[in-house]
Chains A and B, each alone.
Chain A
Amino acid sequence: DADVTQTPRNRITKTGKRIMLECSQTKGHDRMYWYRQDPGLGLRLIYYSFDVKDINKGEISDGYSVSRQAQAKFSLSLESAIPNQTALYFCATSDPGTADYEQYFGPGTRLTVT
């Protein structure tokens, strides 16, 4: 089974709708991240959480909110979706206890806002 899972994998929604993307991990990592990927722009950080009580904005947090329900779960919400939020969204985790701070990525959620 995958260590980092995301649901849904694909979603089409209409402008103005609220939508939640969910991320779960079985790696036991404290740190979790949400990124979006647009063609030609690489990955941009939306929000990150270093533990259950810690939530931080990334470089493009406007229009998004997050919830860290447990160590294993980190959800991303679009309160009122707009077409320019159409993108590929990735969740990732990392373990601060290791010497190497590599991140482990989920398979992604492809979101289309019409």
Chain B
Amino acid sequence: SQQGEEDPQALSIQEGENATMNCSYKTSINNLQWYRQNSGRGLVHLILIRSNEREKHSGRLRVTLDTSKKSSSLLITASRAADTASYFCATQETSGSRLTFGEGTQLTVNP
């Protein structure tokens, strides 16, 4: 079964707008990771946030984690057409254990 559930399933915005995707999970975790997948391609790691962190930034990406609500959000600021892709959250329950992926959010950024 899937650990993570992502919301929304699909998101369409205009270039320059911000995009926010949410991920909820069921069990306690060591860390949560976000990946990006361009159509039909392999996943690429974007950012990792540990269970003792609340917020993390990387370039135009901002990730938050609320362990009390078992949820995370990924914010992409000033989106570009090239950000069009599917975004997946993945949780790791203990350090070094396998990842469990959510079902993904399909983001479309219109030029």
Contact = CB atoms under 8 A, between A and B. Distances in A.
Given A41-B103, A42-B2, A102 B41 contact: no
A44 to B, nearest CB: 8
B95 interface: yes
A108 B103 contact: no
Contacts, number: 57
A91 to B, nearest CB: 9
A108 B98 contact: no
B42 A101 contact: no
Contacts of A41: 2, 103
Interface residues of B, number: 24
Chain A contact residues (Cβ within 8 angstroms of B): what range? 20 to 34
A24 to B, nearest CB: 14
Contacts of A105: 42-44
16 contacts: A4-B42, A42-B88, A43-B43, A43-B88, A43-B101, A100-B31, A101-B92, A101-B99, A103-B45, A104-B45, A105-B43, A105-B44, A106-B42, A107-B41, A108-B41, A108-B42
Q: Ordered nearest first, which 4 A-B pairs have the shortest CB separation?
A: A105-B42, A102-B45, A42-B103, A43-B101
